[in-house]
Amino acid sequence: MRSGVRVGIDVGTVRIGIATCDPSGLLATPFQTVARGARDLDEIAEIVRELAAIEVVIGLPLSMSGAEGPSARSVRDYSVTLAVRVAPVHVRLVDERLTTVAAARGLRKAGVDGRRARAVVDQVAAAAILQAALDTERSLGRPAGETVQME
């Protein structure tokens, strides 16, 4: 397992959830929500720099069959733009199927009401994406997902 902080990202159309992990790569935790808009890439790049992250992991929203639809294509485009901004830090795409659904369900079970849940569900989804990537790397001995290639 590589040592170093990683940043997990759940890209939404309105908000972007951010999660981080400890330097040993054991535990992902919700970190922040960034509003999607003109400055979101700047804010994320600044977080990556401030945390001295070794990698950014972005959830790729595949369909249940594994096919890529419009949302996945949009995230792929976003990830390329972000990769240029955070270089030389690598950006990876990992399968995120059901992470947002699981995050919302977990928050409801914990008694977090709908209004408060909206503010953190994206962060919790980002933490689930990052945790899955960390667990995969630990079990397989290699990073999860695919590296984003800058154009």
- pLDDT tens track for 13-51: 999 999 999 999 999 999 999 999 999 999 999 999 999
Q: What is the pLDDT of residues 93-113, one digit of tens each?
A: 999 865 655 656 665 676 666
Cα(37)–Cα(55) distance, integer angstroms? 23
User: CA separation (Å) from 102 to 49, 53, 80, 109, 126?
Assistant: 29, 26, 27, 10, 11
Q: What confidence score (pLDDT) does residue 34 get?
A: 96
- Is 149 within a domain? no
Contacts of 115 (CB under 8 A, 6+ apart): none
Cα(130)–Cα(29) distance, integer angstroms? 9
Q: Within a 10 A sphere around the Cβ of 119, how many other Cβ atoms?
A: 11
Per the structure, how many domains does the chain have? 1
- Is 1 within a domain? no
Q: Tell whether the model's pLDDT for residue 133 goes beyond 60.
A: yes
Q: Which domain holds residue 10?
A: 6-144
Cα(27)–Cα(11) distance, integer angstroms? 20
**Torsion-angle region of residue 66: left (phi > 0), alpha (psi -120 to 50) or beta?**
left
* CATH code: domain of residue 28: 3.30.420.140
- Is 57 within a domain? yes
